[in-house]
Amino acid sequence: MTPPHKRSGGKGGASKPRRTGKTKPSQPTRPPKRSPEEHVDVHVPDGIRLQKLLAAAGVGSRRKCEQLIADARVEVDGHLVTELGVRVSPTAVVHVDGERVQTDPERVYLAFNKPVGVVTTMSDDLGRPNIGDYVARRRERLFHVGRLDVDTEGLLLLTNDGELAHRLQHPAYGIRKTYVAQVDGPIPRDLGKRLKEGVELEDGLVTVDSFRLVDALPGKAIVEIVLHEGRKHIVRRLLEAVGHPVRALARTQVGPVRLGDTKPGKFRPLTSREITSLYAEAGL
């Protein structure tokens, strides 16, 4: 199924999920922010100049990055840096205005449009088409973030950033996922309300963050669902439970990353803004 992106709306109806009763797993504690007067030496003699690192990461021009440093808006490994010319490690953790910037050139972040019929594994003993077939020529050892069943197409994130991938998959962070489904119709007016209030499945209650009717056709409909659940076949089971079995299903968004115009079987690198937004979603 080709997702009707142009009819999906600008914001996809997603709102930040409530996390009542959830406790986040322990997170690495960032060092306390220090004032410029409390000098901490982050200088690495054989490192890269901080303004060059920021510019290469897409923060802005070299001059703009120098101004950000001078304005005390840049942290390196949790410490403010205001001195121009400081050299830092390429793998240093850098934040600008509190948002983490991806600066490690070895890190890879891809948006992949998984086709129907492809299993969500990097290899397959049965010889079935799998994700590894599409990235076999890449030198990095990539792995997928989450899963899509073989009959579902759409957005999968591929990366070699293990910490980010772990957090994006952890249920405590409630990362939103948007799906577009073709289902049996017609759709009753109160279905969205019912899904938001919760539907009891065999493995517990499921609630959605938003529900929207995209299009109504004779005997069928196209709907959009946003939820932060990660249970197996959750969208298919949920819609079947309310009397609207799924005919075709595609995931169009994960957190802030949209599938967009990426064709099935193709991938694209994430933008620096998308990576920064994923870091924020994962609390990094």
pLDDT at site 25: 46
Residues 91-139: tens digit of each pLDDT: 888 999 999 988 777 889 999 999 999 999 999 999 999 999 999 888 8
Q: Which residues pair with 251 in a beta bridge?
A: 154, 179
pLDDT at site 38: 44
Residue 149 among the catalytic residues: yes
Q: Is residue 94 part of a domain?
A: yes
Q: Are residues 158 and 183 in the same domain?
A: no
Q: Is residue 90 part of a domain?
A: yes
Q: Where are the beta strands (DSSP E) in 164-243?
A: 177-184, 199-201, 204-206, 210-217, 220-227
Q: Are residues 140 and 71 in the same domain?
A: no
Whether residue 147 contacts residue 229, with contact meaning beta carbons closer than 8 Å, is answered with no
Q: Are residues 117 and 149 in the same domain?
A: yes
Q: Is residue 35 part of a domain?
A: no
Q: Are residues 67 and 197 in the same domain?
A: no
**Is the CA virtual torsion 40, 43, 49, 53 positive or negative?**
negative
Q: Is residue 201 part of a domain?
A: yes
Look at the chain and report how many structural domains it folds into. Answer: 3
Q: What is the 3-state secondary structure (H, E, C) of 10-23?
A: CCCCCCCCCCCCCC
Residues 68-95: tens digit of each pLDDT: 999 999 999 888 998 888 898 888 889 9
| Region of residue 100 (phi > 0: left; psi between -120 and 50: alpha; otherwise: beta) | beta
Which of 187, 186, 210 has its CA nearest to residue 197? 210
Q: Are residues 181 and 276 in the same domain?
A: no
Which parts of the chain register pLDDT below 50? Answer: 5-40
Q: Are residues 264 and 150 in the same domain?
A: yes
Q: Are residues 266 and 150 in the same domain?
A: yes
Q: Exposure pattern of 20-47 as b/e (b: 16+ CB <10 Å)?
A: eeeeeeeeeeeeeeeeeeeeeebeeeeb
pTM here is 0.76
How far out from the chain centre does Cα 233 lie? 19
DSSP state of 29: P
- Domain extent, residue 93, equals 48-101
- The single residue of 104, 124, 149, 184 carrying the catalytic annotation is 149
pLDDT at site 2: 53
Q: Are residues 182 and 64 in the same domain?
A: no
pLDDT at site 284: 79
